[in-house]
Amino acid sequence: MTSPALARRPQPAGAHPRPAEHDLVFVGAGASTSYVLRSLLATLGERPPATPVRIGVVERAADPFGGVAYGGRAARTSLLITPLRDFLPDGERAAFTAWLSQNRHWVFDEYRAASGPASRRWWARHRAAVERDDYEALYLPRYVFGAYLQQQTRAAIAAAAAAGAATVEVVRDEVLAVEPDDGQHLVRCGEATLRARHVVLATGSPPVLPRLHVPGTPDPAPDGLVDDPFADMAAAVRRVCGAIRRAAGRHRPHVVLIGGNAGTMDMLYQLHDCAAPELAEAVVTVLAPRGELPARVDQEPPPVVPFDPVRLRELADAAPVTAAAVHHAALEDIARGRRAGLSAADTLRPVSAAVGRLLPLLLPAEAVEFAGRWGTELGRHQRRAGWEYHEVVEELTASGRFRLVAGTYLGLRAAGDGAVHVRVRDGAGERELDLPAAAVVNCGGPARELRWSGAPLLAQLVTDGVCRATPLGGGIAVDASLAAAPGLYVMGPLLAGNLVHGAPLWHMEHCGRISTYGTAFGRELARVVLGD
């Protein structure tokens, strides 16, 4: 039974009615909104206002408060990309593990029901640890964390309603525009319009940049071309399996994944775990610009690496320090570590700590440049993934069915029989991969600039001048209060490229960072909404 505090208003079939009035509207209901809302409601509950604060949440997915990575759009067997000990700050991790202990009798049921070869192996390995509440070293199923977020957020909503502090209305719809309206904002959706004094834009990362199109073929793309696998990973895997099944007997089954990031590792794991007979003989090619996958992180905590980031340390004595110099010095230290037999995972902590000591030395313009460009570039050289994801790559390699190609994706050409040729640029120039592909999956991630993302809402906000992009275009520019315009705030990945509390922020995908920033912002937002 739906809680009255979480009621969904029926949507009109035709013209929009008079806008519903709210004090605050959240656009998007992922992890960022969950943390802000929990903190906001807890703060309001400490000193309930005379009239409950009216809060609206607009989310297009059917399962609000989990987000893309942790909700229903992720595969049930997708794992955290880091062990739990590195996933959340201490206080929130303790709350999550306490919740796990109380709910482990049911929360892993969906994972066990998936029952692919990788997920069966995971459960056999870690069942004893789960039963004794020993979670720190585990790469947990991601949806488990999503279930925690959803339950905790709903509990906060119910508590705020019971205390008379706030009411929360969830509207399942897609926001198409946010427009200033006489000191307030109109949030225009596909089938409704909301008016609010304050709006929090928490839409998550921009959508994956479309890359897959075969010239001369009509839209929609053939089933074997999956341009946004993360919108519904289970559906993406089914499409790949179907394309391979149709190709059987005509040519060697071949799947190409574009990108060398955590999403690529996740998709490799899912394809392996689906255990489809048609994939048993398929060759898998990963096309990555540097020909690298994220560095392997082992099950046990890595030993303290006696690694001295010499170039970064020397840079501290240089004057003035520039953003580009910090980036290049970090790459030199990472390369020196590799020559000494250390992976990017091994040198991550000392290099990151040394970079952190240099950032306060940057002039404001240089700090903005680091936030908008060099921090993201450095992160591409420090990607990590858990050992169980790497295990799949090792098994594919041992069977002669895995290829890692260093190159840039250029496009596709029809090959007949539903297959495509994949065009790449590498050290030898432009060429086509030798095997035609029955399926191509775009794991390349979002566009580096919002203007290329194709997201209608973001385009509207910037084009209409409601807010502006960060100097290098990767996020929405905000002030010290996280406001992009009067009464319009930003939380989550769209903060990338800003200076927040004087520090450059280039990455807000990490849930630990989201929880820290979101919790702090929720407390501030309570004061704003109450007019304190």
For the chain, the structural domain boundaries read: 4-75+150-206+451-530, 77-140, 225-294+385-442, 297-382
Residue 431 class from Cβ within 10 Å (0-12 exposed, 13-18 middle, 19+ buried)? middle
pLDDT of residue 24: 97
Structure tokens at 252: 């060697």
pLDDT of residue 3: 38
Q: Which residue has the tokens 């007019």?
A: 531
225-294+385-442 fold: FAD/NAD(P)-binding domain (3.50.50)
User: Comparing C-alpha atoms, which of 201, 181, 198, 169 is closest to residue 23?
Assistant: 198
Q: Which tens digit of pLDDT belongs to each residue from 250-287?
A: 778 899 999 999 999 999 999 988 877 778 889 999 99
Q: What angle, rounded to 10 degrees, do the helices at 117-131 and 387-398 form?
A: 150
- Mean of the per-residue pLDDT values for the chain? 89
Structure tokens at 164: 């008379």
Write phi, then psi, for 238 (nearest 5 degrees): -60, -40
d(CA 472, CA 186): 28
SS3 content of the chain, % helix, strand, coil (to 5): 40, 20, 35
pLDDT of residue 221: 60
User: Comparing C-alpha atoms, which of 269, 202, 186 is closest to residue 466?
Assistant: 186
pLDDT of residue 218: 61
Q: Is 368 helix (H, G, I), strand (E, B) or coil?
A: helix
Q: Which residues of 248-264 are buried (b: 16+ CB within 10 A; e: fewer)?
A: eeebebbbbbbbbbbbb
Q: If phi over 0 gives left and psi between -120 and 50 gives alpha, with beta otherwise, what is residue 168? A: beta
pLDDT of residue 448: 77
pLDDT of residue 15: 47
The residue length of the chain stands at 532
DSSP code of 334? H
Q: Which residues pair with 495 in a beta bridge?
A: none
Kindly tell me the sign of the dihedral angle through the C-alpha atoms of 76, 82, 84, 88.
negative
Q: Which residues pair with 198 in a beta bridge?
A: 24
Structure tokens at 302: 């890595």
Starting at the edge strand that comes first in sequence, how are the strands of the sheet with 419-426 ordered?
A: 408-416, 419-426, 429-432
Residue 308 · residue 350 · CB < 8 Å: yes
Taking only Cα atoms into account, the Rg of the chain, rounded to an integer number of angstroms, comes to 24
pLDDT of residue 106: 95
Predicted TM-score (pTM) of this structure: 0.91
d(CA 388, CA 396): 13
User: Comparing C-alpha atoms, which of 171, 192, 197, 199 is closest to residue 19?
Assistant: 192
Write phi, then psi, for 423 (nearest 5 degrees): -90, 135
> What's 4-75+150-206+451-530's CATH class?
alpha beta
User: Comparing C-alpha atoms, which of 403, 402, 404, 409 is closest to residue 430?
Assistant: 409
DSSP code of 63? S
DSSP code of 140? -
d(CA 81, CA 139): 7
Q: Which residue has the tokens 């009615």?
A: 17
The rounded percent of the chain whose pLDDT value lies above 70 is 94
Cite the beta strand spans of 369-505 per DSSP E.
384-386, 402-406, 408-416, 419-426, 429-432, 439-442, 483-485, 488-490, 498-500, 503-505
pLDDT tens for the chain, residues 1 to 532 = 333 344 444 444 444 567 889 999 999 999 999 999 999 999 999 999 999 999 999 999 889 998 888 988 888 899 998 999 999 999 999 999 999 999 999 999 999 888 788 889 999 999 999 999 999 999 999 999 999 999 999 999 999 999 999 999 999 999 999 999 999 999 999 999 999 999 999 998 877 788 898 876 665 567 789 998 988 998 999 999 889 888 877 778 899 999 999 999 999 999 988 877 778 889 999 999 999 999 998 877 666 668 999 999 999 888 789 999 999 999 999 999 999 999 988 899 999 999 999 999 999 999 999 999 999 999 999 999 999 999 999 999 999 999 999 999 999 998 877 789 999 999 889 999 999 999 999 998 787 777 777 788 998 999 999 999 999 888 999 999 999 999 999 999 999 999 988 889 998 878 888 999 999 999 999 999 998 6
Show the 3-state SS of 75-126: CCCCECCCCHHHCCCHHHHHHHHHHHHHHHHHHCHHHHHHCCHHHHHHHHHH
pLDDT of residue 10: 40
Give me the helices (H) in 115-163, please.
117-131, 142-162
Which residues lie below 8 Å from residue 14, measured CB to CB, with a gap of 6+? none
Q: Which residue has the tokens 């070869």?
A: 117
Instruction: Kindly state the helix (H) or strand (E) to which residue 20 belongs, with its residue range.
Output: strand 20-27
225-294+385-442 has the same fold as 4-75+150-206+451-530:
yes
Q: Is 147 helix (H, G, I), strand (E, B) or coil?
A: helix
